[in-house]
Amino acid sequence: MSLDLHGRTVAVLGGDGRDVEIARHAALAGAEVRTCGLPADAVRAVGAYPVATIADAVDNADIVICPVPLPAADGSLFTPLTGARLVPDTEALRGMRRNGILITGRASAQMREAAEALRLKLREYEQDEELMLLRAPAIAEGAIRLAIEHTDVTLHRNPCMVVGFGKIGPTVAAALVGLGARVTVAARNPVQRARAWVMGCEAIPLSALAEYAPRMAVVFNTAPARLFTRDIVQRLGRDTLLIDLAGPPGAVDRDAAQEFGVRTVWARGLGGRAPRTVGQAQWSGIVRILEAELDPPAPRDAEPWVHR
């Protein structure tokens, strides 16, 4: 990308290897890049500077970038590599520069409040269709790896289900078909079910989930809704592996899964399986946002929105 960030300060908060890759691209574009919640050695290796707190990272920052995986219910960011608890709220972000840009997959309530209070430009890109399609292969590969690791049967010639057929579901289904699995797709939209049938899958409505899911060796959920209620979970039994790809709070009643002994893997952040590939894709989405939103560089002695 040809974006010029000389004279800009970028803060990258939380995330995984994808966000290290984003920090690398921002540094290559000329920005001063600070990170919080990423491994210090990895950050230094790409030309960025690790700091201890959000406030230190965003001090006089023009741009703040948060992870694509959704924040937890308490507003804390996805930080699997360090386990740091980072909540970008009004107080933490107060040092950003006037008209700063806050980029995230999907904003928490705290981010929205901060953007309003500090007059930040909040931009969400988790649902960017191009980005979702570009990262789908990494998510599918990661999901299939988990299925192989957590089962004692082959996927080949065994029944597998993909729930949801939006942007990620078709890629997971296609990979399973390629491995020789007997694939059933559960989707609400009849057009999506028709596409699944054309791919060689059996297609059922979501209303038939309780009937079909117990027959499966592996169920891959891609739908962002609490579909696997206690009633459905208790029908699955111990022979079905349930892999949930949904963001917080997840699609599965995990208390019921534990009670009934249903093997469940909540597979958040699988795009991190291929951090360089997916990080580059995410950077392309960030570049589109910045090209639309950036004002000419401000003098470096300009005051931030609020004095720290």
| Mean pLDDT (whole number) for 129-158 | 93
| Res 243: pLDDT | 98
Check pLDDT > 70 for residue 131. yes
Q: What is the pLDDT of residues 236-277, one digit of tens each?
A: 978 899 999 998 889 999 999 999 999 999 998 888 888 999
Say yes or no: 265 and 279 in one domain: no
State pTM to two decimals. 0.83
At residue 308, the pLDDT reads 40
Q: How confident is the model at residue 299 (pLDDT cuts 50, 70, 90)?
A: low
What is the pLDDT confidence band of residue 278, given thresholds at 50, 70 and 90? Answer: very high
- Residue 211 structure tokens: 């009937």
User: What is the DSSP code string of 124-179?
Assistant: E-TT-HHHHHHHHHHHHHHHHHHHHHT-SS-STTSEEEEE--SSSHHHHHHHHHHT
Give pLDDT tens digits for 83-124.
Answer: 999 999 999 999 999 899 999 999 999 999 999 999 999 999
Q: Tell me: do 259 and 283 sit in the same domain.
A: no
* Domain match, 60 and 118 both: yes
Is residue 204 in some structural domain? yes
Task: State whether 257 and 171 are in the same domain.
Answer: yes
CA distance 222 to 169: 6
Kindly tell me if the per-residue pLDDT of 301 is higher than 60.
no
Cα separation, 239 vs 215, in Å, equals 9
Order the strands of the 159-163 sheet from edge to edge.
202-204, 182-186, 159-163, 218-221, 241-244, 263-266
Same domain, 164 and 200: yes
- 91 and 121 share a domain? yes
**Nearest one of 68, 66, 58 to 8, comparing CA atoms:** 58
**Domain encompassing residue 266:** 136-271
